[in-house]
Chain A
């Protein structure tokens, strides 16, 4: 917490604060010393909080009108769209909000990858963040099932069937997940229940994520540890709050553009066809934000192998802080890693594209190449580059430009060891 001891001015405030130090917490949050050189990539934490709250609020209202039943779900969504006051707006915010949430979370994650925010002493923040990301994917997947359209039904069938690849118990697990012998009404009702629960778990993890952040404080584009508070920092309020607000508004303009002018462009038209267990869609595709993992899944000819690689692609991120051997955090000072970083970004985007294409011919070949490279990046590139790379000189502090005599990376190393 902050260095100075906070004492409420009023007597009542002091009385309350002695019993529950909420005011101390408030003062910590407003005074929280933040590096003054944070760029706009750092505003996505606040944007993500906004996304989560938007999804929760619109979701609670939708749940008042939605009916979780295989025979009624599709009709209840149309009831929301047609008969509920501003139901169309609430639903379009919620459905596009999921996409905006993932857009923001991917930017947030890639920012962390570029500036080495996952490295010591911030491993726990990173791991909590990944747990949030995992829960987000589960929540979004189950939410997509709820309208009970064709893509809902068949997406649910494909994803739940993955578990049947587990040796020996796979079939039993799948039946247990379904609550039936196929995706059916029991599946829908439990997905609805869990879809309502998980955002609150995410909210709890977000609190832990921010708490863990406030222990070492923010990383920054230079990637060096800084003294807090110092001339390198600004108090969170009003400096960061106003900047976050500005970035959030820009984000909201994009968000509103989707909601009001192309509300269905991110969805699949097949999901406006009611679920039909007897008719399989020509191409079953998940939502765009799951496509890279879908491409990895399909690039392996063996079902179990595909499932392992797909989950491996996410779980390998958990050990990233220990796979990265570089002592320098920010890719700004890592000329070699920086190249690989952008190749990795391109690789993930390409995998996303392949995930939307049919798994055949050149698409399949490229998906396989992309999958292999995805893992190579973490298992080979990260440890090896960190070991051999000659990093650029890094500055002593944020205020001191690098040109006025750069410090040796060893200094940063010393700095790291201290914490």
Chain B
């Protein structure tokens, strides 16, 4: 009869999983690939890049794109940009937050606190659509997870602005971007060389800013990434050791009977 050896057992599981899990996303244009520091089993964010990325978000993106699920305190938490407590407080305090109602029933504004959520540029989705020529600037909290290709996709779109090919007529307020579906986008190229001035002296080229802001958005979508990788490594090591012990115990126990295991 067929003997199911352990190796077959393992490869079969993996094979079934791979076969039963078809590729969902077929992208028309091959995305630009970047060797992100946060990919892979031990991947970590580049702290300086996250801080620069926040600066790009704050000075460029945030005028249209909200990030409603993040709080200012997240900027100081481990695994993120890790701004100091003082810096986080200063960042929050520089934002005017509407609060209330107070005891008189009136709304009032006050300086932001680290516990506040990121302030959205528009009061609601409709206002953001109206202000952007009919296109909704998506909330950026989980944008990286919400697009096939993730970080590479965001980076590619930022880098994908080109002159439209001859013969392609674009409406007013529509731009050519070879990585968008239909190759059209309603956001004009947001980055130009030197649009921000990095405080750490890094040259603010479009490529550099695109990488930094993509890193920042990747963290925003998965703030638990570093902890996840660290814990995961420990969990796997623990499970492997335990598996070996249980395997040896099993061999010992089954040696009492005249049968293979």
Interface of A with B (CB < 8 Å)? Answer: 36-37, 39-41, 75, 78-79, 81-82, 88-89, 92, 103, 106-107, 221-222, 234, 238-239, 242-243, 245-246, 249-254, 256-257, 259-261, 263-266, 268-270, 272-273, 282, 285, 288-289, 291, 332, 349, 352-353, 356-357, 399, 402
Contacts and interface: CB of A to CB of B under 8 A. Distances in A.
A78 to B, nearest CB: 4
A82 B70 CA distance: 8
Given A222-B1, A332-B1, A107 B16 contact: yes
B108 to A, nearest CB: 25
16 contacts: A36-B259, A78-B142, A82-B69, A88-B224, A89-B224, A103-B16, A106-B16, A249-B246, A250-B10, A261-B228, A261-B229, A266-B21, A273-B138, A282-B181, A332-B2, A356-B22
B239 A36 contact: no
B25 interface: yes
Interface stretch (B45-53, B145-153, B186-194, B198-206): B145-153
B84 to A, nearest CB: 21
Given A254-B14, A356-B24, 6 more contacts: A39-B4, A106-B20, A107-B16, A250-B10, A253-B239, A268-B24
Nearest to A104: B13
Nearest to B40: A261
Given A288-B20, A332-B2, A269 B148 contact: yes
Nearest to B235: A256
Contacts of A251: 13
Interface string B51-92: 000000000000000001110001000000000000000000
A249 B21 contact: no
B122 interface: no
Nearest to B248: A246
Interface string B188-227: 0000000000000000000000000000000001011000
B25 A260 contact: no
A321 B1 CA distance: 24
B20 A352 contact: yes
B236 A256 contact: yes
A147 B259 CA distance: 49
Nearest to B144: A272
B130 interface: no
B7 to A, nearest CB: 11
Nearest to B259: A36
A416 to B, nearest CB: 19
A257 B253 contact: no
A81 B224 contact: yes
B232 interface: yes
Contacts of B142: 78, 272
A389 to B, nearest CB: 17
Contact of B242 (A36, A249, A260, A265): A249
Contacts of B16: 103, 106-107
Contacts of B236: 253, 256-257, 260
Given A252-B239, A260-B232, A272-B142, A242 B1 contact: no
B120 to A, nearest CB: 13
Contacts of A288: 20-22
Nearest to B145: A272
A282 B146 CA distance: 14
Contacts, number: 133
Nearest to A394: B1
Interface residues of B, number: 56
A270 B250 CA distance: 45
Interface of B: 1-4, 6, 9-10, 13-14, 16-17, 19-25, 41, 68-70, 74, 138, 141-142, 145-148, 150, 181, 221, 223-224, 228-229, 231-233, 235-236, 239-240, 242-243, 246-247, 249-250, 253-254, 257-259, 261
A323 B250 CA distance: 39
A410 to B, nearest CB: 20
B73 to A, nearest CB: 10
A8 to B, nearest CB: 26
B239 A249 contact: yes
B246 A242 contact: yes
A82 B74 contact: yes
A260 B229 contact: yes
A259 B9 CA distance: 22
B21 A269 contact: no
A233 to B, nearest CB: 10
A239 B22 contact: no
Contacts of A89: 224, 228, 231
A272 B14 CA distance: 27
B239 A256 contact: yes
A245 B246 contact: yes
A254 B13 contact: yes
A243 to B, nearest CB: 6
A245 B245 CA distance: 11
A36 B232 contact: no
Contact of B4 (A40, A260, A263, A264): A40
Contact of A261 (B150, B232, B253, B254): B232
A349 B19 contact: yes
A318 B233 CA distance: 43
B9 A40 contact: yes
Given A82-B69, A257-B236, A357 B22 contact: yes
8 tightest Cβ-Cβ pairs between the two chains A and B: A260-B232, A272-B146, A356-B22, A88-B224, A249-B243, A39-B4, A36-B259, A272-B145
